[in-house]
Amino acid sequence: MPTSRIRRIRDTIGLYVPLIIALFISIFPFYWMLVGATNNTSKMFTNPPTLSFGNRLMENLHNLNDSIGIYRVLFNSLFVSLMFVLLSLTVCTLAAYALSKFRFKGDKIIFTVLMLSMMIPYQATLIPLFRMLGSLHLLNTYFALIVPQLCYPFAIFLMRQNFLAFPDALIESARIDGAGELRIFFRIVLPSMKPALAATAIYLFMMQWNNFMWPLVATTSSDMYTFPVALSSLIGISIIDYGQVMMGITIATIPIIIFFLVLQKQFISGMLGSAVK
Amino acid sequence: MIPYWFVAPAVILFLCFTIYPIISSLLLSFQKMDGGRYVFAGFANYIRLFHDSVFLKALYNTFIILIIQVPIMLILALILASALNSQLLKLRGFFRVGFFMPAVTSLVAYSILFSILLQDSGLINDFLGLFGIHKIPWLTDPFWAKVSIILALTWRWTGYNMVIYLAAMQNIPEELYEAASLDGAGRIRKFFNITVPQLKPVILFTAIISTISTLQLFDEPYNLTKGGPANGTMTLGLYIYQNGFKYFDFGYASAIAYVVVIIVGILSYIQMKVTGDD
C-alpha cells in the first residue's frame, strides 16, 4: 500500500532528523574540545571558525604542565577519589547491611535521620567544616579532602535497597549452621552484591572526581589542588591561554569518557544511583 | 552487639562531619563577629538579608533559572525518551550513549568549555552568523548570561534525565498503547494520556532532584560567568561562597545557607503535594 509506505518513510525521517540534530549538539562540544586542545588561542576565535586539528598538542600540554603541574593535580584527584570510594563504600555498605538485616535499638532513627539529611544542601555544612578542619590544622591535607563525606547517605540508601532484596532465609540457615556474622556477611551476602557495589562505587567516584566547592575551600596551596580546582584557577587570570585551558578540559574529560564507553551499563546505573535498572 | 559494630563507623563520621556542621551553622546564622569572636546577634543576619540587594538578586536569579531551566530540560528529556522508545528507531543504544555523554563530563570542565563557546567571537556566535543573526552578548549582558547558564545546564543534564525516563517507559505495559490504538488515539494523545501519567512518579523524582541541585547551583556560575555581569548570574550558592570565603562573614553566609535549606524543604513538600502522593 503506497500511502502507508509513504507515511512510514515520513515518520522515520521525522524521527531521525531531530534525533540526529540533538545528538550532534550533545557530541559536537567534545570534538571542538579536541580541536581546541591542538590549537592556540587565536585559532579558537576566528571567523570562519577553525574546525580541524592543529599541531599545538604537545606545546599546550607542556604549557599546561608549567601552569598547574598536571601530574601532581591528577595524582591528587585520582588518589582522593579512589581512597574515597574504597573507604566510603566500606563504611556505607556495613551500615546499610546493619540497617537492612538487623533490628536493633535506634535503627529506625538512624535511618530516618540519614535520609532526611539528604535534603540539607551541602553548602549548609561547608562553613563549620572549614572552621573545624582549620582549627585542627587539617586544611590542605588529603584527610580534609577525603574524610568529611565518607558517610554518604545516598550510598547507604542504595546498598540498603539491594540488601533488602537478599533472602533472609539464606542468612538464617547459615546461622543455624553455626557461621559467624562476619563470615555470613563476607562469604554469603557480599558476593551476590557485586553489581550493586560496582554501581555504587561509580556513583561515589563520579561525585568525588567532580567535587569542586569543598576542594576549592579546603585547599589553598596549589600542590594540594584537585584537578577541577586547578582547571578553574586557569581562567582566573587576566590573559587566558585557551589552548592550555582546552588541553586541561580534555584531560579532565577523556579518561572518564573512555571509562564510560567501556562500562556503559554499570556507569549508567551507577550515575543514576541505580534508581532504574 | 553485631549491628552496632556495623553502623558505628558511619554513625560516628555522620555525627562529626554532617550533624555537627548542620547544627553549628544554624547557630552561626544567629551570630555576628564582634571583637574577634562570634557573639549572639538574634535575627540580625536574617533581617539584613531583606535589605541586601545582592542577596535578593541571587534569590531572583536562582528562581528564574529554576523555573525556566528545569521544565525545559524535563520536557526535552521526555520527548527524546519517547523518540528513543519508538519502534521505528534502530541503533537505540548508540543514541542513548550519545545523549548520556554530556552527563559524565566534569562540571568545571564543561562550564569552562561553554564559557569559550559563548564568547563574543566564539563558535556559537559564528554559527548563528551563518543565519544572519548578530552577535549575541552571551556573557556580557545580564539577561543573556542567565540564558547561557540555562543552555549549559540543559546540555549537561537532559540526556541524564532522558535515560531515567527511557528506563521507566520500558515498564509501561504495551497493552495500554494497543488499547489506545484501537480507540484511534494518535501518537500525541498516547503521549499525554498514557506515557505522561504512567511516568508521574519518575517525573516527580527528577523534578525534585533537579530543583534541589539548581537551588545549590555553584560550579556553573563560578566558572562560566563568575556571577556576572552586574551580578546577573549571582546564585544563592555562589553568594554563600563569596560571603563565607571572600568576606569571611561566616554568620551571614550561614544565614543564606539556611534560607536555602528552608526553600528546599518548602519546594520539595509542595512538589510532593501537587503531584499527589504515589
Closest CA to A209 of B115, B73, B106: B106
Q: Measured between CB atoms, does A27 come within 8 Å of chain B?
A: yes
Cell of B103: 552527563
Taking the CA of residue A164 and the nearest CA in chain B, the distance in Å comes to: 15
Q: What is the pLDDT of residues B123-173, one digit of tens each?
A: 899 899 889 888 899 999 999 999 999 999 999 999 999 999 998 898 888
Q: For position A276, what pLDDT does the model report?
A: 44
- A8: contact with B, CB 8 A cutoff: yes
The closest alpha carbon to A194, from A155, A162, A164, A153, belongs to A162
Measuring CA to CA, which residue among A249, A228, A230, A210 is closest to residue A44?
Answer: A249
Q: Please answer whether residues B6 and A97 qualify as being in contact, where contact means their C-beta atoms are separated by less than 8 angstroms.
A: yes
Beta bridge partners of B199: none
Q: What is the spatial distance between Cα B69 and Cα B215, in angstroms, rounded to a whole number?
A: 12
**For residue B109, pLDDT beyond 90:** yes
Three-state helix/strand/coil letters over chain B? CHHHHHHHHHHHHHHHHHHHHHHHHHHHCCEEEECCEEEECCCHHHHHHHHCHHHHHHHHHHHHHHHHHHHHHHHHHHHHHHHHCCCCCCCHHHHHHHHHHHHHCCHHHHHHHHHHHCCCCCHHHHHHHCCCCCCCCCCCCHHHHHHHHHHHHHHHHHHHHHHHHHHHHCCCCHHHHHHHHHCCCCHHHHHHHHHHHHCHHHHHHHHHHHHHHHHCCCHHHHHHHCCCCCCCCCCHHHHHHHHHHCCCCHHHHHHHHHHHHHHHHHHHHHHHHHCCCC
User: Do the chains contact at A123 and B257, CB–CB below 8 Å?
Assistant: yes
The predicted model gives A142-152 an average pLDDT of: 96
CA A146, A149, A152, A154 torsion: positive or negative? Answer: negative
- Are B25 and B257 in contact by the 8 Å Cβ rule? The answer is yes
Residue A2, pLDDT score:
67
> Under a CB-based contact definition with an 8 Å cutoff, are residues A218 and A133 in contact?
yes
* Contact between residue B233 and residue B214 where contact means Cβ atoms under 8 Å apart: no
Task: For each of the domains in chain A, give its residue range(s) and CATH number, in order of start.
Answer: 2-57 (no CATH), 70-234 (1.10.3720.10)
When pLDDT is averaged across residues A185-191 and rounded to a whole number, the result is 92
Residue A255 has pLDDT above 90, yes or no: no
- All 3 cell numbers of residue B271? 512538589
Distance, in Å, from the CA atom of B21 to the CA atom of B27, rounded to the nearest integer, reads 10
Look up the ipTM and state it. Answer: 0.89
The backbone torsions φ and ψ at residue B249, rounded to the nearest 5 degrees and listed phi first, read -100, 80
Q: Which of A106-110, A165-169, B16-20, B186-190 has the lowest mean pLDDT?
A: B186-190
Domain regions of chain B by residue span: 1-42, 51-274
The 10 Å Cβ neighbour count of residue A151 is: 26
Q: Which residues of B fall within a CB distance of 8 Å from A262?
A: none
For residue A22, what is the nearest residue in chain B, using CA coordinates? B99
Q: Do B2 and A102 touch (CB under 8 A)?
A: yes
Average pLDDT, chain A: 90
Distance from C-alpha of B170 to C-alpha of B95, rounded to nearest angstrom: 16
In angstroms, the Cα distances linking B4 to A99, A107, A156 are 10, 9, 15
Contact A229, A212 (CB under 8 A): yes
- Check CB contact of A273 with chain B, cutoff 8 Å: no
Contacts of B254 in chain A (CB under 8 A): 124, 127
| Strand intervals (E) in A94-139 | none
Grid coordinates standing for A87? 573507604
| Phi/psi of residue A56, nearest 5 degrees | -100, 10
Residues A23 and B98: beta-carbon distance below 8 Å:
yes
CATH hierarchy code of domain B51-274: 1.10.3720.10
User: Coil, strand, or helix at residue A107?
Assistant: helix
pLDDT at B272 over 80: no
CA distance B6 to chain A (A): 5
Q: What is the tens place of the pLDDT at every residue in A261-272?
A: 888 888 887 777
A25-69 pLDDT, tens digit per residue, is: 999 999 999 999 998 888 878 777 888 888 888 888 998 898 889
Residues 6+ apart with CB under 8 A from A185: A97
Better-scored residue on pLDDT, A48 or A111: A111
Q: Residue B117 contacts by C-beta under 8 Å, 6 or more apart in sequence?
A: A29, A32, B123, B124
Closest-CA distance, B41 to chain A, in angstroms, reads 18
What is the number of other CB atoms lying within 10 angstroms of the CB of residue B72? 15
Closest to B112 (Cβ–Cβ): which among A90, A245, A257?
A245
A202-247, pLDDT tens digit by residue? 989 999 999 999 999 999 998 999 999 999 999 877 788 888 999 9
What does the pLDDT look like over B18-77, one tens digit per residue?
999 999 999 999 998 887 788 898 899 999 999 999 999 999 999 999 999 999 999 999
Q: What is residue A146's predicted lDDT score, i.e. its pLDDT?
A: 96
What is the pLDDT, as a whole number, of residue B276?
A: 63
